[in-house]
Structure 1
């Protein structure tokens, strides 16, 4: 017992590292056991546990000294407990994109993720061991003593690391070459790496100059009638849950009666809002997009604004993720602007008083972006008013693993029914302005959502292992009477099942407003490409 009351810095690091390695990697080892059954691979799995421990101890010894050890280890314990909860319950992995998404989450979204089980994880795996770290007496050693003590341990550990790797070299090579996704579940090593990667990206983003592109952009059309286009950015909407795309449930009862065109095979740029949103408005495309480049370059809205189009961004989500930083932005998560709020502020509130804005800019082409809260999880039951509780019973908790698949699907499908209502209401708003403008609506979701398929929930998986449920997104077009004369809607309908991606959104928006620029690529324009 005295050992646990008075320890050296090196011993403290060892104890905490053993605790983290053994309690924080249940998901990682469960994934490994799927490939290496426990019965036949006990020695390798034991070596893997030691391998992870050695790697973590060496890293911590390099940064933990007498005065830095406590705060570093306490912070690590608490954060690792939170990561462990989301990994075990939702199969979420914390790569650099998820780190960015987490840091940009607003208070309302954070509350949706709060649960009693999360508190239990934080208390048992975070606060209780942290309290011991706080109270334990650390043996006083001068810097040279600490350095020499650590150096000896690190050398021994490095030898162990090499020997273990050599003994099971074939198994390790196969594990990490053929199953790269497994490293994403290592707690805390991988999320620490992801945080470092995110910080480096933020640093690079803030240190390079902003690049203005497409300065040749000009509006060029045959007639003088102005255009009014509403771009609705959906949230977490899966294409396969739209009855317009063949889903067996009637989730689009109102849009079915409108002359809409559903692009049923659109795939997203990313699997989370923080990445997908700026990417889909960029001209870089998924294969080339990085925040460092994309956020330091004009996006399609900047280009349209430069060409003379009046741009308005109304947001009922967390933010525009930088897309509207240089444009008129209105926050409709606030009750000050959004007059339709009960459990939370509703997407339909973004249409309130919008006519006043249109009337004030009648002499200009307008593109209005409405960023929905949509189907954001895990609290799907909060995303729609009571009258849209069509499919029952529903999951009425944010702990999806506590609900049946049927309850989760019912709650999620109700969010699509409400999206249908909101889009129908948007179309009716545009219809009321048809005499003065050529009107059109363009709906595109930022990413999809896992609803328990293969044990996955929510979104944010790294793209190379993301299931189609997180990348196959809903997209809908509607054209007013005048606008439809310029579009071959019959041919568009026939070819609406063509596989497309977010890469084309930049060019489609340019095409919709008839803005010419050398950057425009006709073959990527959804409408002209499909024609």
Structure 2
């Protein structure tokens, strides 16, 4: 065989940039093209010239950017990074229907290693090998050359940029109305183009998080105070359980046909059945949940640099602790007692660095008794976090079978996926019941109560979507409708003057959201502050 077949090809950086632009545009933008196909199917007339121009437009735009950035010394590392990252983004979008907007990038950066590892499986490895590793090896073999003079190099680069600009202008000349119409009516499409939007979102997150001058901390609610506790009175003990990825429609309390809440059925829980989350990812919803800001104007950067509900409890003299089994409080517990789960200390509940939520009840009584005055304990669950749903509960508690015991959830049947998810909801109900039992056992020392509220919901294949994190304005109700459950001891109910029937009725009829949580907790804990808004306190008109 001729030896020339084994020689490394020699290309100019601009030529390699064009080849890589075409590869990324055609190989990694299938989710974008499929979304366009669904849109075109709803139109009465589609210009096929317009359809054919779309991949050319994407290639031209990518080449325009790459041609400007590609110089001999940095071309290979740049295009290799783009190929690998685009491959991962494309796989995630194709498999789970996830869109990499700013919120998803924020969630990605704040994901712990154990959680990130749950997404790794054979399908990911095969996809990366075929679409990223093999093209990367080809890029590595290419020998790059450039013009002998700087003027010649700039001329070559200018020619490549000009070609891309002319292509964009020509497409705009013939099909501007089509692009304008489709883009204006389907603005989400820009978030699906690989790699432009995830690069933009990543750059924005890095700038806001690491490069921007920190926002001065804003102290709110320093005027907070609580009603004085009589010397002979029992202190209040409130347990706030922050759920993970639980969707309201899969709770039997909310009309679901399966018995997913059997353990707390005798505990007289009250369910708020129409509750909207602040976001579709933990990194947004948890800070928003504890912030005085509402969802419509929520600014995550500002929320992380101002007092939250737990801080205000502290200003009022309420002793608080945060116990975490979900990779962090997203900044909420930054200024309070914070107890993350150590998997190595609890092997009976943990395997492979992942713990089931019952671990949060270890040393529960002792930790509470060591606190002073009125107390608030936050239990941050890992709940129903996917795709490794089967790791969220002991296998001895797998009531619904066959279950999807794999992180390749897209390969499981619809019933297997629903079964494994319902098992996580059922196990959360078990943990809630165990917590309530602990609180009942403390009735001689405290007036006890429990509030459970999830951060966001989950898609289980409906409309081709899986997991969560879809842009809020486009997210389905499965990702934005969450459970809100409450349990009160008799002593707590009497002390707070709770009208149970009023709350039950409100749970059936009221449209609530995470916006209500901050003010409801201030109200029910009798914390007085100028921040409190009674119209957002769900308890306000149900107390005698």
TM-score of Structure 1 vs Structure 2, range by shorter chain: over 0.9
Q: Does 1:16 align with 2:27?
A: no
Q: Is the 8 A contact 2:343 2:350 kept in 1?
A: no
After superposition, give the CA deviation of every residue in 1:251-296 in whole Å (9 maximum; x if it has no partner).
0112111111011111100000111111111111111112221111
Q: Which residue of 2 aligns with 1:347?
A: 357
Shift of 1:117: 1.1
CA contact (8 A) 1:241 1:416 kept: yes
Structure 1: runs of 5 or more not aligned = none
- Tell me the residue number matched to 1:496: 507
The match for 2:441 is 432
Deviation at 1:207, TM superposition (A): 2.0
Q: Which residue of 2 aligns with 1:478?
A: 487
SS at match of 2:240: strand
Contact 1:338/1:352, CA 8 A, preserved across alignment = no
Q: Tell me: CA distance 1:175–1:221, structure 2 relative to 1, closer, same or farther (3 Å).
A: farther
Of residues 205-214 and 100-109 in structure 1, the stretch that sits farther from structure 2 once superposed is 205-214
Deviation at residue 307 of structure 1 after TM alignment: 1.4
The residue aligned with 2:184 is 177
CA distance in structure 1 between the aligned counterparts of 2:267 and 2:213, rounded to whole angstroms: 45
Deviations, residues 368-400 of structure 1 (Å, cap 9, x unaligned): 100001000111111111222111111111111
Which of 169, 190, 198 is 1:162 aligned to? 169
Gaps of 5+ in 2: none
Q: TM-score, normalised by structure 1?
A: 0.96
Structure-to-structure mapping, 1:183-332, within 5 angstroms: 183-203=190-210, 207-220=214-227, 223=230, 224-332=233-341
Check the 8 A contact 1:335/1:345 in 2, yes or no: no
Residues 1:511 and 2:517 aligned together: no
Is 2:160 aligned against 1:153?
yes
Supply the RMSD in Å over aligned alpha carbons.
1.9
**Cα separation, 2, equivalents of 1:204 and 1:495:** 46
Aligned mates of 2:338, 2:108 — CA distance in 1: 22
Q: 1:303 to 1:266 in 2, by over 3 A?
A: same
The separation in 2 between residues aligned to 1:348 and 1:153, in whole angstroms, is: 60
Question: C-alpha separation between the residues in 2 aligned to 1:68 and 1:21?
Answer: 21
Q: Aligned match of 2:40 in 36, 43, 46?
A: 36
Moved more, 484-493 or 335-344: 335-344
Is 1:5 aligned with 2:19?
A: no
Displacement of 1:494 in angstroms is 1.4
Q: Distance in 2 between matches of 1:247 and 1:221?
A: 43
Q: 1:205 to 1:406 in 2, by over 3 A?
A: farther
Q: Is the 8 A contact 1:6 1:137 kept in 2?
A: yes
Distance 2:211 2:534 in 1: 32
**CA 1:316–1:216 in 2, change beyond 3 Å: closer, same or farther?**
same
Query: C-alpha separation between the residues in 2 aligned to 1:492 and 1:205?
Result: 45
Q: Secondary structure at the match of 1:465?
A: coil
The 1:227–1:165 alpha-carbon spacing in structure 2 relative to 1, beyond 3 Å, is same
1:40 Cα deviation from its structure 2 partner = 4.9
- Following superposition, the deviation at residue 205 of structure 1 comes to 6.3
Deviations 1:58-86 (A, max 9, x none): 11122221111111111111111111111
Q: 1:128 & 1:204 partners in 2: Cα distance?
A: 35
Contact 2:343/2:351 (<8 A) preserved = no
Q: What secondary structure is seen at the aligned counterpart in 1 of 2:265?
A: helix
**Counterpart position of 2:534:** 522
Secondary structure of the 1:463 match is: coil
Secondary structure in 2 aligned to 1:416? helix
* CA shift digits 1:15-62 (9 cap, x unpaired): 111110000011111110112249954321210111111111111122
Would you say how many aligned residue pairs link Structure 1 and Structure 2?
Answer: 530
Find the aligned partners of 1:65 and 1:228 in 2 and give their Cα distance: 63
Maintained 8 Å contact 2:262/2:429: yes
1:356 to 348, 351, 366: 366
Q: Partner residue of 1:88?
A: 94
After the TM superposition, which residues 320-399 of structure 1 pair with which residues of structure 2 at under 5 Å, given as runs? 320-336=329-345, 340-342=349-351, 344-361=354-371, 363-399=372-408
Aligned to 1:54: 60
**Equivalent in the alignment of 2:425:** 416
**1: CA distance between counterparts of 2:301 and 2:211?**
6
2:78 pairs with one of 72, 76, 81 = 72
Cα distance in 2 for partners of 1:406, 1:54 equals 44
- Asked whether the equivalents of residues 338 and 349 of structure 1 are also in contact (C-alpha less than 8 Å), the reply is no
2:506 and 2:175 map into 1 onto residues whose CA distance is 53
Query: Secondary structure of 2:449's match?
Result: strand
Q: Distance in 1 between matches of 2:212 and 2:539?
A: 33
For residues 403 and 151 of structure 2, what CA distance do their matches in structure 1 show?
A: 62
**1:205·1:296 contact (CA, 8 Å) conserved in 2?**
no
Counterparts in 2 of 1:463 and 1:377: CA distance versus 1, 3 Å = same
Q: Give the match's secondary structure for 1:454.
A: helix
